Amino acid sequence: MNQLDQLKQHTIVVADTGNFKQLAQFAPRDATTNPSLILKAVQQSEYAPLLQEVVKAQGRAPLERVVDEVLVRFGLEILKVVPGRVSTEVDARLSFDTACTIARAHHLIGLYERAGISRERVLIKVAATWEGIQAAKALEHEGIHCNLTLLFSFCQAVACGDAGVTLISPFVGRIYDWYKKQAGAAWDEAANAGENDPGVKSVSAIYNYYKHFDIDTEVMGASFRNAGQILALAGCDLLTISPDLLAALQGSDAPVSKRLDAQAAKALPIHAHTYNEPQFRYALNEDAMASDKLAEGIRAFAADAAKLDRMIEELRK
């Protein structure tokens, strides 16, 4: 078997793309999207007609409603290909507004349900700020399942577990990027590869914590820079992988071994943690990497959301 097929024996494989025409060849169970991936897709000639069709059908509807229609349309197309779930993201500009995040999530779920899609097949993607985590907690109580994204720190993961969210997406590659940049010329790639990769270490610690304390929240490693990071997390609940790296795994038949194990985590000497709001904010502030990458990620997703807004406005002229 190739590495992708071997990986699927240990981990649920998810495709990290808005390009639904690529999905079938990798046979992922789920798919994730984000504002940057959707923006990238609608700029391609093969998807431009889809954007134009949605915008025309919405007429002079409020801009945020048109955007949601575009996001859900991509989600609906993805769900024709994958048997499981699609993640659809709430506008990153609402990352510090609990009430507006909840309202936007309700609208997205409503669009899916009106299209005949059960909410069980949709994960509402929300940034793992304190406000986003509280929004997700409320949504989960309503049976709306959430994927907490832009997660870089242990305190974010603990708070998400305590909130009962369905799934978290810790970002392996962006953690790696930060430490590599900080080290500069002193960075030793070989010494920081595999299980020693800082992003891999972060996800492994979160996974072991959840399994040790029987926390139901699923861990989905995300944002990979190379296949080595993916293989070092074989055994994680889920891994969301870009088409380029899915193809790389499909093109190799090197052996893949399980690296994370829920039963092994039970025996680890792990202490329980909990964070109220002041403790959470202080812990996040003390983690320079997580603070930097969370802020950077929100800004980047917000910028791409604004670009999509402008594309829609141009089409409506």
Active-site annotation, residues: 125
Task: Report the amino acid identity of residue 232.
Answer: A
8-27 b/e (C-beta count within 10 Å ≥ 16 → b): bebbbbbbbbbbbebbeebb
Taking CA atoms, 271 is separated from 97, 240, 267, in Å, by: 32, 28, 12
The span from the CA of 8 to the CA of 94, in Å, is 35
Q: How far apart are CA 31 and CA 266, in angstroms?
A: 30
Contact 69, 107 (CB under 8 A): no
> Look-up: residue for tokens 């509402």?
124
